[in-house]
Amino acid sequence: MERATPDWPAAIGRQWPLVCGLLFLFCYEFVLADPVFSSAAAKVAQFPAAAALFVIVVLAPRRPFAAALVAAAAVVVSSVAVGIGDLPVLPTFISKLLVTEIAALLALIAILVHRESTSRAAIGVTAIVAASASTWWLRPDFQAEFGGVTYSYDPNLRISLEVGGALLLVSIGASLYLRLRNEKRRRSVEAEVLAAQHAERMALARELHDVVAHYVTSIVVHSQAAEAVLEL
């Protein structure tokens, strides 16, 4: 069963720290990066996928599960396009994902785990991880030319697995912590509401008891007075 999501425009508005962080990474990688390592052709080739992931993450609170599947598909499609076209790529960090893409996907995983049911979150996370791993084979290696010699950089598989796994665990762990904390807070609020309702019912019961006792006492007094009059 899908977890109920809050009003999504408000949820998006609360994401301004995430949006600012992604914008900073986005601007650095596509605007401020050293042109020696980040050619204009590579930026043009990988800009659409990074921009799509940014938009998906911003809109993710509306439909986290669908956003995860669309993001995974976007990574695969962009990787196939870059690989088939043999287009130049930007320097990578884990697997062959850009830093902006990594940050966006980790944020999306956090939103997914926090808001969706366990089964849907597991499917979404699996899709994102599989799409990220596919970039290792689908995207070409980063190449740079120094002194007329072209060098090719292939990310270290072991480092990618270790760092990527650690970041994934941190993202999921933080989301689960927030989810459990929110669940505990919700239960605490529900308990307080139930306690307040119980106290209100008890107060009404006591008030009703006092009113009934007053009327019963009045009836008894009037009855005794009537009996006394009849005996005279």
Per-residue pLDDT of the chain (232 residues; tens, 9 = 90+): 444 445 555 655 677 788 888 888 888 877 776 665 666 777 777 888 888 998 999 888 889 999 999 999 999 998 898 888 777 777 776 778 888 899 999 999 999 998 888 899 999 999 999 999 998 888 887 766 656 656 666 777 788 888 888 999 999 998 888 888 888 888 888 888 888 888 888 888 888 887 887 788 878 777 777 776 766 6
**Structural domain that includes position 71:** 8-187
Residue 228 lies in a domain: no
pLDDT of residue 138: 86
For residue 139, give the nearest of 22, 33, 62, 45 by alpha carbon.
45
Give the pLDDT of residue 148: 60
Would residue 217 count as lying in a domain? no
Q: Is 71 among the domain residues?
A: yes
Domain count, the chain: 1
User: H/E element holding 228?
Assistant: helix 157-231
CA distance 232 to 229: 5
Would residue 82 count as lying in a domain? yes
86 domain residue, yes or no: yes
Residue 147 included in any domain:
yes
